[in-house]
């Protein structure tokens, strides 16, 4: 059973370009979480998605950021018109959560975005 | 004040020493995680616990729900234990709220 996959692992974008980060959850997992780690800072929650549904986007910046998790295919975190302050490591995690049981979250290797 | 506080921020130890990292939180939680991150590396989940104590090899994690406090212990520390250790709590819609991490360096 492959772990959580993220691609690309490293992404370089010029200011104003778009960045698309992909996350394929572990097999059988229907819940995806995105977290951001700014340089020299701690991890922060961004968004929590279930297939075709956003559960909690309270950590997403109001503009330029969007996320989706379609019925088929990976979850996508999209950043439009990137700025230098978007440079960070973006991690996704997945879980099989159902009902009231709290399941482990399994992390991907992260995508390191550099905006030049 | 952060919802999850860790101490110490930095920790150095000699190989073989017993290490303790502390975590306090101020929100209601469904579980608490201890995570490990090597420089430039990914995140590995060490423990998820909601009560009591768990042990895995040389690592032990405890949680006191009434006092909203958890500790991570490393027995017989080794240079390969050098990493950042992060406490995170599951709260609200099941998202993780992270502490700022404890940077551990173990010298031979």
pLDDT in tens, B60-103: 999 999 999 999 999 999 999 999 999 999 987 788 999 999 99
Nearest to A102 among B30, B45, B88 (CB): B30
Task: Give the whole-angstrom CA distance, residue B16 versus residue B89.
Answer: 29
> Closest partner residue to B95 among A56, A107, A108, by Cβ?
A56
Per-state percent for chain A, helix, strand, coil, to nearest 5: 5, 50, 50
Q: Does B98 touch chain A (CB under 8 A)?
A: yes
Average pLDDT over residues B29-49: 91
Mean pLDDT, rounded, of chain A: 92
Partner residue facing A107 (CB), from B45, B92, B95 = B45
Residue A59 in this model has a pLDDT that exceeds 60: yes
What's residue B108's pLDDT?
A: 94
Contact check, Cβ <8 Å, A59/B95: yes
Nearest by CB to residue A107, choosing from B42, B90, B101, is B42
User: Is A45 in Cβ contact with B96 (below 8 Å)?
Assistant: yes
Q: What pLDDT does A113 receive?
A: 97
Residue B40 pLDDT level (bands cut at 50, 70, 90):
confident
- State how far residue B62 is from chain A, nearest Cα, in angstroms: 17
Under DSSP, the state recorded for A104 is P
Taking only residues 11 to 30 of chain B, the set having a beta carbon closer than 8 angstroms to any beta carbon of chain A reads: 30
Higher pLDDT, A91 or B91: A91
Query: Residues of B with CB below 8 A from A58's CB?
Result: 95
Q: A105, B33: Cβ pair inside 8 Å?
A: yes
């Amino acid at each position: 059973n492959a772990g959580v996959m993220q691609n690309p692992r490293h992404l370089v974008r010029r200011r104003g370009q778009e960045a698309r980060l992909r996350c394929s959850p572990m097999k059988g997992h229907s819940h995806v979480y995105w977290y951001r780690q700014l340089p020299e800072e701690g991890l922060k929650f961004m968004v929590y998605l279930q297939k075709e549904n956003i559960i909690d986007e309270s950590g997403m910046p109001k503009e330029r950021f969007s996320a989706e998790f379609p019925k088929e295919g990976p979850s996508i975190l999209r950043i439009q018109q990137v700025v230098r302050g978007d440079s960070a490591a973006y991690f996704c995690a997945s879980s099989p959560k159902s009902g009231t049981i709290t399941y482990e979250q399994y992390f991907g290797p992260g995508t390191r975005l550099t905006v030049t | 004040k952060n919802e999850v506080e860790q101490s110490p921020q930095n920790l150095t130890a000699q190989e073989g020493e017993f290490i303790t990292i502390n975590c306090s939180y101020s929100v209601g939680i469904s579980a608490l995680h201890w995570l490990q991150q090597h420089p430039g590396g990914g995140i590995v989940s060490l423990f998820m616990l909601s009560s009591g104590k768990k042990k895995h090899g040389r690592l032990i994690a405890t949680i006191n729900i009434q006092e909203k406090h958890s500790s991570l212990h490393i027995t017989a520390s080794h240079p390969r234990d050098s990493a950042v250790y992060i406490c995170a709590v599951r709260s609200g819609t099941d998202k993780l709220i992270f502490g700022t991490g404890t940077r551990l360096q173990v010298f031979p």
